[in-house]
Amino acid sequence: MTIATSSIAEQRTVLRNISWETFETLLEETGEDRGSRFVYDCGTLEIMTPLYEHENPKIQFDRFIFALAEEVDIGLKSAGSMTLKRKSVKRGIEPDNCYYIQTEPIVRDKQELDLKTDPPPDLAIEIDITSSSVNKSSIYAALGVNEIWRYNGRVLKFYQLVDGEYIECEFSIAFPLVSVTEISRFIEQRKTMGEIALVKSFRAWIRDKIVQNTGDKH
């Protein structure tokens, strides 16, 4: 059975009763350069093609996270939309962006990653302007991703994995200096500010936060 939905942000096609072997064959045959992203959940395959309203905030989040890591001087390894999958749980997903932060030293020198032997990313970014047909949280939980930032075009929420389930939280695990409220303010400013000015403003804000945080400890 196939279900197709679309909006100005995302086009989605859902296929039912897809075997794991078929999923892996599709991944291999379509390659890494395809424009669509796959989500697989125990036989259900969703194929999503992102459009402008989806891709623009994705880019802004990536810039914010890179700036955060640089300004607070912590390690970061970007993994983009790499396919996260494990046959043992029959789940796979391609996030908008994902990052190794706490576990960055473990994967720093690796050219290939396999979740059978390597840790999952520490942080995943999920942008769903339209509703997905699969439960992405259960997929990320099964894969062991510790933190998710989810944005629906209006509201940003942070989630952390606790005892196999995601709970909403105010502060990031990877970047405890920042709250969801503060990041939300900047991601909304992308709608009215130029991108260069926005990144400069964000960096200046981070530096002020670092100074304030240092002062509070003395």
Domain positions in the chain: 52-83+95-216
Summarised one tens digit per residue, pLDDT across range 110-153 is 999 999 999 999 999 999 888 888 999 999 999 999 999 999 99
| Residue 179, number of CB atoms within 10 A of its CB | 15
Res 3 pLDDT > 90? no
CB 94 within 8 A of CB 121: no
pTM of the model: 0.91
CA pair distance 215, 209, nearest whole angstrom: 10
Residue 144 pLDDT: 97
Summarised one tens digit per residue, pLDDT across range 169-192 is 999 999 999 999 999 999 999 999
Which pairs from 105-114 meet CB under 8 Å and 24+ separation?
Answer: 105/75, 107/77, 108/75, 108/77, 113/79, 113/82
CA pair distance 28, 61, nearest whole angstrom: 28
Residue 35 pLDDT: 80
* Residue 70 in tokens: 């640089």
The mean pLDDT of 93-106, rounded to a whole number, is 96
